[in-house]
């Protein structure tokens, strides 16, 4: 039986109090017991804490797009647009970042500006979370670190741009040699942290089919809104069939609510295709990705340098249309996540 509104609000109040104090809390809306240590590092903004305590919808937003996704001042503009899109749907945005040894849940406009202009900000994922907290200064949370912080704070919905996945050649390299094993930590985080993640799908620089298979193996539901194919970030379609299709955002929210009530321990990935007016058609972007990938291979670009190089080269080859698609899908994902959060009751 679903929780009553009163029971749910009581659970949210307990979760919010626990997030601020680090105390344990029981119940279906409680942060994961495994998050008890993380809660000791949280610093929740008054606005977010009040919303959680009152059972109002909250949407987590990552901070890597501020520090690494766009140059200044475009990074500040897209961060503000994302928060505005969440607010327009009646939810409270909680941009998450690390500063001075604390996981900050909700940034002020001044803090967003400070992060956007800070030099040498590290990208923080689960493997580097402890080092970032111990090191002080600013750290920008990726998908995995944002999910960890959101769960610890009691936030159930998180909006990002694209999701990481299995890179091309990760399993078998050129000439049937051993692969690079370059597989995003996002996938394992979705398998272990029960947060609903809204994205525009995997970037087409990845192996989308293997990414979908990896999520299925890990027990992570992948739901696409309004399409029978998984979106390919810049493109509305990837050529890979979606395991689950929701006709509307409301249908996706119902699936998400049921998944969270089942308490299976896994997250859920909801894919919202980029708005049609802003997409780069699949045929065009695939040809450009193939060209950029070949150039990277011939130039010896690999490892951590590969993805940022590919994204920059793709932006050049598309004359900036890939960047405009990226901006549009980030706003759309924030809006979609807020609608889902409202349907979940928080």
What is d(CA 61, CA 80) in angstroms, rounded to the nearest whole number?
11
Active site residue 54: no
Q: What is the DSSP letter of 32?
A: P
pTM score of the predicted model = 0.89
pLDDT digits (tens, 9 = 90+) for 254-270: 999 999 999 999 999 99
Sign of CA dihedral 35, 37, 38, 42: positive
CATH 3.40.1790.10 given to domain 156-346: yes
> At 339, phi and psi to the nearest 5?
-65, -40
What is d(CA 321, CA 79) in angstroms, rounded to the nearest whole number?
19
Sign of CA dihedral 67, 163, 257, 145: negative
Maximum Cα–Cα distance across the chain: 61
Is the separation of the CB atoms in 177 and 136 below 8 Å? no
Locate the domains of the chain by residue range: 1-154, 156-346
What is d(CA 136, CA 113) in angstroms, rounded to the nearest whole number?
18
Out of 203, 229, 279, 327, the active site residue is 203
Assign domain 1-154 one CATH number from 1.20.120.1630, 3.30.365.10, 3.90.1150.10, 3.40.1790.10: 3.40.1790.10
What is d(CA 232, CA 329) in angstroms, rounded to the nearest whole number?
11
Low-confidence ranges of the chain (pLDDT < 50): 1-4, 7, 21-28, 346
H or E element in which residue 59 lies: strand 58-61
Sign of CA dihedral 310, 311, 315, 318: positive
Domains 1-154 and 156-346 share a fold: yes
In the prediction, which pLDDT does 167 show?
81
In the prediction, which pLDDT does 27 show?
40
pLDDT digits (tens, 9 = 90+) for 185-228: 899 999 999 999 999 999 999 999 999 999 999 999 999 999 99
Mark 12-43 as b/e (b = at least 16 C-beta within 10 Å): bbbbbebbbeeeebeeebbbbeebeebbebbb
């Amino acid at each position: 039986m679903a929780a009553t509104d009163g029971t749910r609000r009581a659970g949210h109040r307990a979760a919010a109090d626990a997030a601020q104090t680090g105390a344990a809390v029981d119940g279906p809306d409680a942060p994961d017991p495994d998050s008890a240590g993380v809660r000791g590092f949280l610093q929740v903004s008054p606005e977010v804490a009040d919303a959680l305590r009152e059972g109002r919808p909250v949407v987590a937003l990552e901070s890597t797009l501020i520090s690494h996704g766009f140059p200044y001042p475009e990074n500040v503009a897209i961060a503000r647009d994302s928060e505005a899109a969440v607010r327009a749907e009646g939810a409270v945005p909680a941009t998450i970042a690390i500063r001075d040894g604390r996981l900050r849940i909700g940034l002020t406009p001044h803090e967003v500006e400070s992060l956007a202009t800070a030099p040498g900000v590290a990208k923080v994922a689960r493997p580097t979370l402890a080092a970032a907290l111990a090191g002080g200064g600013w750290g920008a949370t990726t998908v995995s670190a944002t999910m960890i912080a959101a769960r610890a704070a009691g936030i159930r919905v998180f909006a990002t741009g694209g999701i990481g996945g299995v890179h091309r050649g990760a399993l078998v390299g050129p000439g049937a040699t051993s692969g690079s094993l370059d597989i995003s930590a996002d996938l394992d985080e979705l398998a272990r942290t029960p947060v609903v993640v809204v994205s525009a799908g995997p970037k087409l620089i990845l192996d989308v089919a293997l990414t979908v298979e990896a999520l299925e193996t890990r027990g992570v539901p992948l739901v696409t809104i309004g399409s029978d194919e998984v979106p390919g970030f810049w493109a509305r379609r990837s050529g890979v069939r979606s395991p689950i299709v929701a006709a509307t955002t409301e249908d996706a929210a119902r699936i998400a609510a049921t998944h969270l009530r089942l308490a299976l321990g896994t997250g859920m990935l909801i894919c919202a295709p980029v708005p049609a007016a802003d997409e780069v058609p699949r045929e065009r972007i695939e040809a450009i990705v193939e060209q950029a990938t070949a150039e990277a291979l011939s130039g010896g670009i690999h490892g951590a340098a590969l993805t940022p190089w590919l994204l920059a080269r793709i932006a050049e080859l598309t004359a900036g249309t890939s960047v405009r698609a990226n901006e549009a899908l980030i706003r759309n994902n924030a809006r979609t996540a807020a609608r889902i959060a409202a349907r979940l009751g928080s």
